[in-house]
Structure 1
Amino acid sequence: MANLYLDDSKHHSFGFSLAAFVMCDADPTEDIGLIFRRSGFDPNTFEFKSSARMKDDINLQKLRSALKTYIGTRCKIAVCVVDGDKRLGPGALKLLNSALAHPYLAGHQHQVFFGEGLFPSTEAAENLVQDTEKFKSCEFHFEQDSRRVLGIQLADIVSVVGFWGQMAA
Protein backbone atom coordinates (compact mmCIF):
# COMPACT_ATOMS: atom_id res chain seq x y z
CA MET A 1 0.00 0.00 0.00
CA ALA A 2 1.19 3.50 -0.78
CA ASN A 3 0.23 6.83 0.71
CA LEU A 4 -0.19 9.50 -1.94
CA TYR A 5 -0.25 13.22 -1.18
CA LEU A 6 -1.20 15.96 -3.62
CA ASP A 7 -0.70 19.70 -3.50
CA ASP A 8 -0.47 22.43 -6.10
CA SER A 9 1.20 25.67 -7.04
CA LYS A 10 -0.43 28.32 -9.18
CA HIS A 11 1.58 30.40 -11.62
CA HIS A 12 -1.00 32.93 -12.76
CA SER A 13 1.44 35.24 -14.52
CA PHE A 14 2.47 32.33 -16.76
CA GLY A 15 -1.05 30.93 -17.19
CA PHE A 16 -0.51 27.48 -15.69
CA SER A 17 -0.62 25.50 -12.46
CA LEU A 18 1.20 22.40 -11.28
CA ALA A 19 -0.20 19.54 -9.25
CA ALA A 20 2.23 17.10 -7.69
CA PHE A 21 1.78 13.72 -6.07
CA VAL A 22 4.33 12.48 -3.59
CA MET A 23 4.06 8.73 -3.05
CA CYS A 24 5.43 7.08 0.08
CA ASP A 25 5.49 3.38 0.93
CA ALA A 26 4.43 4.18 4.49
CA ASP A 27 2.89 7.12 6.31
CA PRO A 28 5.71 9.72 6.47
CA THR A 29 4.23 11.70 9.37
CA GLU A 30 6.66 10.46 12.00
CA ASP A 31 9.69 10.98 9.74
CA ILE A 32 8.56 14.48 8.75
CA GLY A 33 7.94 15.38 12.38
CA LEU A 34 11.49 14.30 13.24
CA ILE A 35 12.90 16.37 10.35
CA PHE A 36 10.94 19.40 11.59
CA ARG A 37 12.20 19.02 15.16
CA ARG A 38 15.83 18.55 14.03
CA SER A 39 15.51 21.81 12.10
CA GLY A 40 14.11 23.69 15.09
CA PHE A 41 10.39 23.60 14.26
CA ASP A 42 7.41 22.07 16.03
CA PRO A 43 5.42 19.99 13.50
CA ASN A 44 2.26 20.52 15.56
CA THR A 45 2.31 24.29 15.12
CA PHE A 46 4.52 25.06 12.11
CA GLU A 47 3.53 24.56 8.47
CA PHE A 48 6.25 24.50 5.84
CA LYS A 49 5.31 26.49 2.74
CA SER A 50 7.61 26.56 -0.26
CA SER A 51 6.52 30.09 -1.01
CA ALA A 52 7.87 31.37 2.33
CA ARG A 53 10.83 33.75 2.19
CA MET A 54 13.90 31.76 3.26
CA LYS A 55 16.81 33.98 2.27
CA ASP A 56 17.84 34.98 5.80
CA ASP A 57 16.43 32.01 7.72
CA ILE A 58 19.06 29.27 8.11
CA ASN A 59 16.67 26.93 9.98
CA LEU A 60 14.05 27.21 7.24
CA GLN A 61 16.69 26.55 4.57
CA LYS A 62 17.89 23.53 6.55
CA LEU A 63 14.31 22.24 6.82
CA ARG A 64 13.69 22.67 3.09
CA SER A 65 16.93 20.85 2.26
CA ALA A 66 16.14 17.97 4.63
CA LEU A 67 12.61 17.60 3.23
CA LYS A 68 13.95 17.57 -0.34
CA THR A 69 16.46 14.90 0.63
CA TYR A 70 13.64 12.86 2.16
CA ILE A 71 11.58 13.18 -1.02
CA GLY A 72 14.56 12.25 -3.21
CA THR A 73 15.48 9.17 -1.20
CA ARG A 74 12.19 7.86 0.18
CA CYS A 75 9.41 8.91 -2.20
CA LYS A 76 8.29 8.76 -5.79
CA ILE A 77 6.67 11.71 -7.55
CA ALA A 78 4.21 12.42 -10.36
CA VAL A 79 3.44 15.89 -11.72
CA CYS A 80 0.84 17.38 -14.05
CA VAL A 81 0.57 20.83 -15.60
CA VAL A 82 -2.80 22.41 -16.37
CA ASP A 83 -3.87 25.66 -18.04
CA GLY A 84 -4.87 28.23 -15.45
CA ASP A 85 -6.05 26.81 -12.15
CA LYS A 86 -9.67 25.78 -12.68
CA ARG A 87 -8.94 22.16 -13.70
CA LEU A 88 -6.35 21.23 -11.08
CA GLY A 89 -8.49 18.64 -9.29
CA PRO A 90 -9.66 16.83 -12.42
CA GLY A 91 -6.14 17.05 -13.88
CA ALA A 92 -4.73 15.46 -10.73
CA LEU A 93 -7.29 12.66 -10.94
CA LYS A 94 -6.31 12.03 -14.55
CA LEU A 95 -2.66 11.83 -13.45
CA LEU A 96 -3.59 9.46 -10.62
CA ASN A 97 -5.57 7.26 -13.01
CA SER A 98 -2.47 6.93 -15.21
CA ALA A 99 -0.13 6.43 -12.26
CA LEU A 100 -2.23 3.58 -10.85
CA ALA A 101 -1.27 1.49 -13.90
CA HIS A 102 2.42 1.66 -12.91
CA PRO A 103 3.77 -1.60 -11.41
CA TYR A 104 4.71 0.27 -8.22
CA LEU A 105 1.03 1.07 -7.59
CA ALA A 106 -1.02 -1.45 -9.60
CA GLY A 107 -2.91 -4.09 -7.68
CA HIS A 108 -2.50 -2.47 -4.25
CA GLN A 109 -4.74 -0.46 -1.93
CA HIS A 110 -3.81 3.20 -1.39
CA GLN A 111 -4.57 6.14 0.84
CA VAL A 112 -4.83 9.32 -1.27
CA PHE A 113 -4.78 12.77 0.36
CA PHE A 114 -5.60 16.00 -1.51
CA GLY A 115 -4.78 19.46 -0.20
CA GLU A 116 -7.47 22.09 0.09
CA GLY A 117 -9.03 24.03 -2.78
CA LEU A 118 -8.50 21.60 -5.67
CA PHE A 119 -12.21 20.88 -6.17
CA PRO A 120 -15.34 23.03 -5.79
CA SER A 121 -16.37 20.77 -2.87
CA THR A 122 -15.68 17.39 -1.31
CA GLU A 123 -18.93 16.13 -2.83
CA ALA A 124 -17.86 17.25 -6.31
CA ALA A 125 -14.55 15.42 -5.89
CA GLU A 126 -16.26 12.24 -4.67
CA ASN A 127 -18.59 12.33 -7.69
CA LEU A 128 -15.57 12.43 -10.02
CA VAL A 129 -13.97 9.29 -8.53
CA GLN A 130 -16.99 7.08 -7.91
CA ASP A 131 -17.28 5.52 -11.38
CA THR A 132 -13.61 4.97 -12.22
CA GLU A 133 -12.59 1.32 -11.85
CA LYS A 134 -8.93 2.01 -10.95
CA PHE A 135 -10.02 4.34 -8.15
CA LYS A 136 -11.68 1.44 -6.31
CA SER A 137 -8.20 0.61 -4.96
CA CYS A 138 -8.02 4.04 -3.30
CA GLU A 139 -9.42 5.51 -0.14
CA PHE A 140 -9.73 9.23 -0.86
CA HIS A 141 -9.32 12.08 1.61
CA PHE A 142 -10.26 15.38 -0.05
CA GLU A 143 -9.85 18.93 1.30
CA GLN A 144 -7.14 17.99 3.81
CA ASP A 145 -5.33 20.57 5.91
CA SER A 146 -1.58 20.27 5.33
CA ARG A 147 -0.94 21.27 8.95
CA ARG A 148 -2.58 18.00 9.98
CA VAL A 149 -1.55 15.79 7.05
CA LEU A 150 2.18 16.44 6.86
CA GLY A 151 2.69 14.46 3.64
CA ILE A 152 0.89 17.24 1.78
CA GLN A 153 3.77 19.54 2.75
CA LEU A 154 6.08 17.23 0.78
CA ALA A 155 3.81 17.62 -2.26
CA ASP A 156 3.91 21.40 -1.77
CA ILE A 157 7.69 21.31 -2.24
CA VAL A 158 7.48 19.22 -5.41
CA SER A 159 4.75 21.39 -6.93
CA VAL A 160 7.01 24.45 -6.92
CA VAL A 161 8.78 25.05 -10.22
CA GLY A 162 12.10 25.85 -8.52
CA PHE A 163 12.18 22.39 -6.94
CA TRP A 164 13.40 20.79 -10.14
CA GLY A 165 16.55 22.85 -10.58
CA GLN A 166 17.36 22.66 -6.89
CA MET A 167 17.08 18.85 -6.86
CA ALA A 168 19.73 18.59 -9.58
CA ALA A 169 22.18 20.76 -7.63
Structure 2
Amino acid sequence: MAYLYFDESIRDQGEFIVGALIISDTEVSNEIREQWIAFGLDPDANEYKSSSIKNGDEISLRQRDYVGYMVTRSKLALTILPLNDRRQLGNNLAELIFQLIKTGLLEESEHSAYVDENIKISQAYQARLQEAGVKLFLNSNSATIAGIQLSDHASHILGSMLLEELGIIKKQVKAGENSGYHPDELFELGFELWANVRYALLGKQTYIEGVSPPPDDPANPYFKIEGYGLHIAPTCPEPLAQSARKRFGINYLGCIH
Protein backbone atom coordinates (compact mmCIF):
# COMPACT_ATOMS: atom_id res chain seq x y z
CA MET A 1 0.00 0.00 0.00
CA ALA A 2 1.20 3.50 -0.84
CA TYR A 3 0.14 6.94 0.33
CA LEU A 4 -0.24 9.51 -2.43
CA TYR A 5 -0.31 13.28 -1.93
CA PHE A 6 -1.12 15.76 -4.69
CA ASP A 7 -0.91 19.52 -5.09
CA GLU A 8 -0.18 21.91 -7.92
CA SER A 9 1.81 25.01 -8.85
CA ILE A 10 0.00 27.45 -11.14
CA ARG A 11 2.39 29.51 -13.25
CA ASP A 12 0.70 32.43 -14.95
CA GLN A 13 3.98 33.57 -16.53
CA GLY A 14 4.43 30.32 -18.42
CA GLU A 15 0.70 29.64 -18.79
CA PHE A 16 1.03 26.14 -17.39
CA ILE A 17 0.27 24.08 -14.29
CA VAL A 18 2.55 21.48 -12.74
CA GLY A 19 0.91 18.89 -10.51
CA ALA A 20 3.24 17.00 -8.18
CA LEU A 21 2.38 13.55 -6.86
CA ILE A 22 4.34 12.44 -3.81
CA ILE A 23 4.32 8.67 -3.22
CA SER A 24 5.31 7.31 0.17
CA ASP A 25 5.37 3.83 1.65
CA THR A 26 4.24 5.31 4.95
CA GLU A 27 1.69 7.89 6.06
CA VAL A 28 3.88 10.95 6.68
CA SER A 29 1.37 13.57 7.83
CA ASN A 30 1.74 12.91 11.55
CA GLU A 31 5.52 12.92 11.24
CA ILE A 32 5.45 16.34 9.56
CA ARG A 33 3.02 17.79 12.08
CA GLU A 34 5.17 16.52 14.94
CA GLN A 35 8.17 18.22 13.37
CA TRP A 36 6.31 21.56 13.27
CA ILE A 37 5.51 21.12 16.96
CA ALA A 38 9.21 20.46 17.61
CA PHE A 39 9.92 23.77 15.85
CA GLY A 40 7.56 25.47 18.33
CA LEU A 41 4.76 25.85 15.78
CA ASP A 42 1.05 25.11 15.78
CA PRO A 43 0.71 22.63 12.88
CA ASP A 44 -2.87 23.76 12.23
CA ALA A 45 -1.88 27.41 11.87
CA ASN A 46 1.71 27.21 10.63
CA GLU A 47 1.77 24.69 7.80
CA TYR A 48 4.51 25.03 5.20
CA LYS A 49 3.57 27.05 2.12
CA SER A 50 6.02 27.32 -0.77
CA SER A 51 4.59 30.74 -1.66
CA SER A 52 5.44 32.30 1.72
CA ILE A 53 8.40 34.67 2.03
CA LYS A 54 11.46 32.84 3.38
CA ASN A 55 14.15 35.55 3.50
CA GLY A 56 14.94 36.45 7.09
CA ASP A 57 12.44 33.93 8.48
CA GLU A 58 14.52 31.23 10.13
CA ILE A 59 11.57 28.99 10.95
CA SER A 60 10.24 29.09 7.38
CA LEU A 61 13.70 28.22 6.10
CA ARG A 62 13.88 25.29 8.52
CA GLN A 63 10.46 24.13 7.34
CA ARG A 64 11.61 24.36 3.72
CA ASP A 65 14.74 22.34 4.44
CA TYR A 66 12.66 19.71 6.23
CA VAL A 67 10.03 19.28 3.50
CA GLY A 68 12.85 19.16 0.94
CA TYR A 69 14.41 16.33 2.90
CA MET A 70 11.06 14.54 3.13
CA VAL A 71 10.60 14.79 -0.64
CA THR A 72 13.94 13.04 -1.15
CA ARG A 73 12.70 10.25 1.13
CA SER A 74 9.69 9.76 -1.13
CA LYS A 75 9.03 9.16 -4.82
CA LEU A 76 7.88 11.93 -7.13
CA ALA A 77 5.80 12.00 -10.31
CA LEU A 78 4.32 14.95 -12.17
CA THR A 79 1.73 16.02 -14.67
CA ILE A 80 1.91 19.15 -16.82
CA LEU A 81 -1.03 20.88 -18.48
CA PRO A 82 -1.81 24.29 -19.96
CA LEU A 83 -3.21 26.98 -17.70
CA ASN A 84 -6.46 27.23 -19.65
CA ASP A 85 -7.09 23.54 -18.94
CA ARG A 86 -7.12 24.04 -15.17
CA ARG A 87 -10.44 22.26 -14.63
CA GLN A 88 -8.85 19.09 -15.99
CA LEU A 89 -6.05 19.02 -13.41
CA GLY A 90 -7.62 16.25 -11.34
CA ASN A 91 -8.38 14.15 -14.41
CA ASN A 92 -4.74 14.49 -15.49
CA LEU A 93 -3.74 13.34 -12.02
CA ALA A 94 -5.86 10.24 -12.61
CA GLU A 95 -4.12 9.64 -15.95
CA LEU A 96 -0.76 9.96 -14.21
CA ILE A 97 -1.76 7.35 -11.62
CA PHE A 98 -2.98 4.98 -14.34
CA GLN A 99 0.33 5.51 -16.17
CA LEU A 100 2.28 4.61 -13.03
CA ILE A 101 0.21 1.46 -12.53
CA LYS A 102 0.50 0.43 -16.18
CA THR A 103 4.29 0.80 -16.17
CA GLY A 104 4.66 -1.06 -12.87
CA LEU A 105 5.97 1.92 -10.93
CA LEU A 106 2.92 1.76 -8.69
CA GLU A 107 1.76 -1.66 -7.59
CA GLU A 108 -1.77 -2.84 -8.28
CA SER A 109 -2.79 -2.69 -4.65
CA GLU A 110 -4.85 -0.65 -2.22
CA HIS A 111 -3.62 2.96 -2.15
CA SER A 112 -4.82 6.14 -0.46
CA ALA A 113 -4.65 9.36 -2.51
CA TYR A 114 -5.00 12.70 -0.74
CA VAL A 115 -5.82 15.56 -3.11
CA ASP A 116 -5.60 19.22 -2.13
CA GLU A 117 -8.68 21.39 -1.90
CA ASN A 118 -10.50 22.63 -5.01
CA ILE A 119 -9.05 20.03 -7.38
CA LYS A 120 -11.90 18.28 -9.14
CA ILE A 121 -11.93 14.76 -10.56
CA SER A 122 -14.82 13.62 -12.74
CA GLN A 123 -17.12 10.88 -11.53
CA ALA A 124 -15.94 8.66 -14.37
CA TYR A 125 -12.30 9.00 -13.34
CA GLN A 126 -13.19 8.53 -9.69
CA ALA A 127 -14.88 5.25 -10.57
CA ARG A 128 -11.87 4.08 -12.57
CA LEU A 129 -9.50 4.95 -9.74
CA GLN A 130 -11.66 3.04 -7.29
CA GLU A 131 -11.61 0.02 -9.59
CA ALA A 132 -7.80 0.30 -9.68
CA GLY A 133 -7.68 0.14 -5.88
CA VAL A 134 -7.07 3.85 -5.27
CA LYS A 135 -9.14 5.34 -2.45
CA LEU A 136 -9.60 9.06 -3.03
CA PHE A 137 -9.71 11.74 -0.36
CA LEU A 138 -10.70 14.87 -2.25
CA ASN A 139 -10.60 18.38 -0.72
CA SER A 140 -8.02 17.29 1.83
CA ASN A 141 -6.87 19.97 4.26
CA SER A 142 -3.11 20.36 3.81
CA ALA A 143 -2.62 21.40 7.44
CA THR A 144 -4.14 18.14 8.67
CA ILE A 145 -2.99 15.95 5.77
CA ALA A 146 0.48 17.41 5.97
CA GLY A 147 1.88 15.14 3.27
CA ILE A 148 0.29 17.55 0.80
CA GLN A 149 2.82 20.14 1.98
CA LEU A 150 5.50 17.98 0.33
CA SER A 151 3.55 18.13 -2.94
CA ASP A 152 3.25 21.88 -2.58
CA HIS A 153 7.02 22.17 -2.24
CA ALA A 154 7.75 19.73 -5.07
CA SER A 155 5.32 21.36 -7.51
CA HIS A 156 6.86 24.76 -6.78
CA ILE A 157 10.36 23.40 -7.52
CA LEU A 158 9.21 21.69 -10.72
CA GLY A 159 7.37 24.82 -11.84
CA SER A 160 10.50 26.94 -11.39
CA MET A 161 12.55 24.42 -13.38
CA LEU A 162 10.09 24.54 -16.26
CA LEU A 163 9.95 28.35 -16.22
CA GLU A 164 13.73 28.36 -16.60
CA GLU A 165 13.57 25.84 -19.44
CA LEU A 166 11.04 28.09 -21.19
CA GLY A 167 13.46 31.02 -20.84
CA ILE A 168 11.05 32.99 -18.66
CA ILE A 169 13.26 33.20 -15.59
CA LYS A 170 17.02 33.17 -15.24
CA LYS A 171 18.73 33.01 -11.87
CA GLN A 172 22.05 31.76 -10.55
CA VAL A 173 22.74 30.50 -7.03
CA LYS A 174 25.90 29.63 -5.15
CA ALA A 175 26.78 25.96 -4.73
CA GLY A 176 27.13 26.36 -0.97
CA GLU A 177 28.86 24.20 1.60
CA ASN A 178 29.02 20.38 1.29
CA SER A 179 27.90 20.52 -2.35
CA GLY A 180 30.97 18.88 -3.89
CA TYR A 181 31.82 22.19 -5.58
CA HIS A 182 33.50 25.38 -4.42
CA PRO A 183 30.93 27.06 -2.15
CA ASP A 184 30.95 30.27 -4.25
CA GLU A 185 30.65 28.56 -7.62
CA LEU A 186 27.51 29.68 -9.43
CA PHE A 187 24.95 27.36 -10.99
CA GLU A 188 21.68 27.89 -12.78
CA LEU A 189 18.74 27.67 -10.39
CA GLY A 190 17.19 24.84 -12.41
CA PHE A 191 20.32 22.73 -12.04
CA GLU A 192 20.38 23.26 -8.28
CA LEU A 193 16.70 22.37 -7.94
CA TRP A 194 17.08 19.29 -10.15
CA ALA A 195 20.10 18.11 -8.15
CA ASN A 196 17.93 18.11 -5.04
CA VAL A 197 14.99 16.11 -6.45
CA ARG A 198 16.50 13.90 -9.16
CA TYR A 199 16.66 10.75 -7.05
CA ALA A 200 12.98 11.08 -6.13
CA LEU A 201 11.74 11.27 -9.74
CA LEU A 202 10.08 8.09 -10.90
CA GLY A 203 11.33 6.56 -14.12
CA LYS A 204 12.73 3.45 -15.73
CA GLN A 205 16.41 2.78 -16.30
CA THR A 206 16.61 2.08 -20.00
CA TYR A 207 18.81 2.49 -23.05
CA ILE A 208 18.14 5.82 -24.75
CA GLU A 209 19.66 6.04 -28.21
CA GLY A 210 22.04 8.93 -28.61
CA VAL A 211 22.14 9.56 -24.86
CA SER A 212 22.95 6.37 -22.96
CA PRO A 213 26.15 4.33 -23.01
CA PRO A 214 26.04 1.19 -25.23
CA PRO A 215 22.99 -1.02 -24.53
CA ASP A 216 25.06 -3.70 -22.78
CA ASP A 217 26.73 -1.24 -20.40
CA PRO A 218 25.57 -2.14 -16.86
CA ALA A 219 26.50 1.32 -15.57
CA ASN A 220 23.81 3.19 -17.52
CA PRO A 221 22.91 6.23 -15.38
CA TYR A 222 19.97 7.38 -17.51
CA PHE A 223 16.32 6.93 -16.56
CA LYS A 224 13.39 7.65 -18.83
CA ILE A 225 10.77 9.74 -17.02
CA GLU A 226 8.36 10.60 -19.85
CA GLY A 227 5.67 7.95 -20.05
CA TYR A 228 6.55 6.78 -16.54
CA GLY A 229 6.71 9.45 -13.83
CA LEU A 230 6.04 12.30 -16.27
CA HIS A 231 2.59 12.79 -17.77
CA ILE A 232 2.17 15.57 -20.35
CA ALA A 233 -1.44 16.48 -21.06
CA PRO A 234 -2.31 16.05 -24.74
CA THR A 235 -3.77 19.58 -24.68
CA CYS A 236 -0.33 21.13 -24.04
CA PRO A 237 0.85 23.44 -26.84
CA GLU A 238 3.85 21.94 -28.58
CA PRO A 239 6.39 24.48 -27.24
CA LEU A 240 5.29 23.67 -23.67
CA ALA A 241 5.32 19.93 -24.31
CA GLN A 242 8.78 20.10 -25.88
CA SER A 243 10.16 22.11 -22.97
CA ALA A 244 8.63 19.67 -20.49
CA ARG A 245 10.25 16.73 -22.30
CA LYS A 246 13.61 18.48 -22.44
CA ARG A 247 13.55 19.40 -18.76
CA PHE A 248 11.99 16.26 -17.26
CA GLY A 249 11.84 13.56 -19.93
CA ILE A 250 15.22 11.99 -19.15
CA ASN A 251 16.88 11.89 -15.74
CA TYR A 252 20.59 11.43 -15.16
CA LEU A 253 21.55 9.70 -11.91
CA GLY A 254 25.30 9.59 -12.32
CA CYS A 255 27.87 11.75 -10.56
CA ILE A 256 27.47 15.49 -11.14
CA HIS A 257 30.53 16.65 -9.17
Task: Give the TM-score range, shorter chain.
Answer: 0.7 to 0.9
- Provide structure 2 residue ranges, at least 5 long, that are not aligned to the other structure: 162-189, 197-257
In 2, the alpha carbon distance for the partners of 1:100 and 1:59 equals 38
Number of residue pairs the alignment of both structures matches:
163
Corresponding letter in the other structure for 1:81: I
Q: Which residue of 1 aligns with 2:217?
A: none
Other structure's SS at 1:100 match: helix
Conserved 8 A contact 1:100-1:134 = no
- Percent identity of equivalent pairs: 21
Return the offset for 1:133.
6.8
- Provide structure 1 residue ranges, at least 5 long, that are not aligned to the other structure: none
Q: Which residue of 2 aligns with 1:28?
A: 28
Q: Which residue of 1 aligns with 2:147?
A: 151
Q: Which residue of 2 aligns with 1:129?
A: 126
Larger deviation: 136-145 or 35-44?
35-44
State the TM-score, normalized to the length of structure 1.
0.86
Other structure's SS at 1:13 match: coil
Conserved 8 A contact 2:110-2:133 = yes
Q: What CA deviation, in whole Å up to 9, does each residue of 1:29-70 have, x standing for no partner?
A: 221122212333221322211000111101110111011111
In 1, the alpha carbon distance for the partners of 2:129 and 2:148 equals 25
Conserved 8 A contact 1:39-1:60 = no
Corresponding letter in the other structure for 1:78: A
Instruction: Say yes or no: does 1:77 pair with 2:76.
Output: yes
Conserved 8 A contact 2:54-2:60 = yes
Return the offset for 1:136.
2.8
Does the C-alpha gap of structure 1 residues 148 and 79 become closer, same or farther in structure 2, counting only changes over 3 Å?
Answer: same
Cα RMSD after superposing both structures: 2.0
Corresponding letter in the other structure for 1:30: N
In 2, the alpha carbon distance for the partners of 1:143 and 1:155 equals 14
In 1, the alpha carbon distance for the partners of 2:139 and 2:87 equals 16
Does the C-alpha gap of structure 1 residues 60 and 76 become closer, same or farther in structure 2, counting only changes over 3 Å?
Answer: same
Return the offset for 1:134.
7.5
- Structure number with larger C-alpha Rg: 2
Of structures 1 and 2, the one with the larger relative CO (CA 8 A, separation 6+) is: 1
